[in-house]
Structure 1
């Protein structure tokens, strides 16, 4: 009985620590390289996989006259900080089939 409880506890820990990427169809390469596919977003990555390297849109806060960050801006920024640093080093896109956001479909 104790072993079963231990296994259940370990499985729930693994499930709760799993990172779910909800943008760019869950494609971490595309998300960590280009950010969200939204021209009005308030942040975007500068270099992939570094986690804290990003640029804030000058039309958004902290500009005193800027628009506030949306819920998607905040959630995607949080995911960027947790998902993207997991890559140890940046990879490159090397596929003759097209741009990374177009393969296998647009995302």
Structure 2
């Protein structure tokens, strides 16, 4: 099981990331765009994910993945239960979410693409 500190460690290792506390929720963003957010109780993590693929992701494992709350459905966003993640999968999810919000050249330079 991963913790908030694990999320922080991965997110803060990514270029241009800043951490913010907004309405009692920890959020990681690049510029003004949030790509990872923790629920107030830190049991769920929302992350940037393509809208057109999220229904399939949630359907593939509904015990782990959840649709965004109704007010976030218009965004490229999905949620996951932190208790179901390992550290390797967490790193993949956070990095993929980050790649959605940074310029392609920044992602390529960091990830070696």
Give the shorter-chain TM-score range: under 0.3
The structure with the largest strand share of the pair is 2
Report the TM-score when normalising by structure 1: 0.25
Q: RCO higher in 1 or 2 (8 Å CA, sep ≥ 6)?
A: 2
Work out which of the two has the higher radius of gyration on C-alpha atoms and give 1 or 2. 1
